[in-house]
Amino acid sequence: MRGSVYYQSSQLVKQIFQAGVKKEDKVNPNHEHYQFVSSYKTMESYRAIWNNFFNYLLEHWKLKDFEKIEPHHIQAYMDYKVEYYPSKQYLEKISAALGKLEIALKKFAKNIHNVDREYDFSIRQTILDEDRDLKYVSNNYHNRAYNNPLFLIENLKDPLHKIAAKIQYEGGARIEGVALIKKDQMMGIKVDSITNKEVGIVLTKEKGGKSGEVLVSIDTYTNLESYILEYDKFKINRQKYYNDIKQAAISLNENPEASHGLRWNFAKRRMFEYGKAGYSYEECLQQVSYEMKHNRASITQHYLA
């Protein structure tokens, strides 16, 4: 499908929305309005989530045709949302909206292309259930930091994944900040004014296109730089990276917290480093928030329990 985010979502709305459809028809597999949405307000809330999801895919995955959405996109988006400590109700609404998106895409393929195209977004329900059970949502809190992040990183199978994980652990980068790194993002060496140690600087662009420095150890920076000099860029497959982290965590009897868990480890360590450098608690919160490419200091607090 071609067109803007809003055009594509409007075409998908047409596949499943019909005002006034009876409830019994919506649950009847033999009726033409099976699985439809009949409330303007509900459809509007679903479409708002679709648009947010589509903009996320456009920005972070460069995906312009939303007929090409795959399960790992659903997983990444929900993980991305969970990082902001959403309410249980909001995460449930996201899951429901993505469920309706699956239906709309199937109907679009059938009605427009006359093909039966398979979409399986069931991972959304798995993530929702896990996040509720493991207390990732705001009415039931859970600490996502890994108990032994360095041991976890050493147990990753792919050497490139080890580099990506170290960047996230040492510098607090999001997944989109490490999935693709080019030569012009390598900014050299400087002394970190907080720890007074030499660090490597990687310039990343993450949430909302926000650019900023990510500070990593000299060893990590050197390994990354050497790889880019040889292969022109550093690039990993997100789904394979997720899977590698998950398997390593399971093998170590850790909760598989995806790559977000490494950002939680970063926040805890960096808070300690700012405190040791003489910053007040409030100043520590704000500075760590900036380094993690947030704005509000209060966001840092949910990483620290």
Contact indicator for 259, 165 with CB cutoff of 8 Å: yes
pLDDT at residue number 156: 97
pLDDT at residue number 117: 93
For the chain, list residues with pLDDT below 50.
134-135, 138-141
Query: How many other CB atoms are found less than 10 A from the CB of residue 170?
Result: 25
Residue-wise pLDDT for 206-230, tens only, equals 765 567 899 999 999 999 999 999 9
* Dihedral sign for Cα atoms in the order 37, 38, 42, 43: positive
pLDDT at residue number 72: 86
Q: What would the two tokens of residue 257 be?
A: 């917290």
Residue-wise pLDDT for 180-199, tens only, equals 999 999 999 999 999 999 99
pLDDT at residue number 140: 45
Residue-wise pLDDT for 72-92, tens only, equals 899 888 877 876 666 778 889
pTM of the model: 0.64
- Domains, the chain, with CATH or none: 5-133 (no CATH), 149-301 (1.10.443.10)
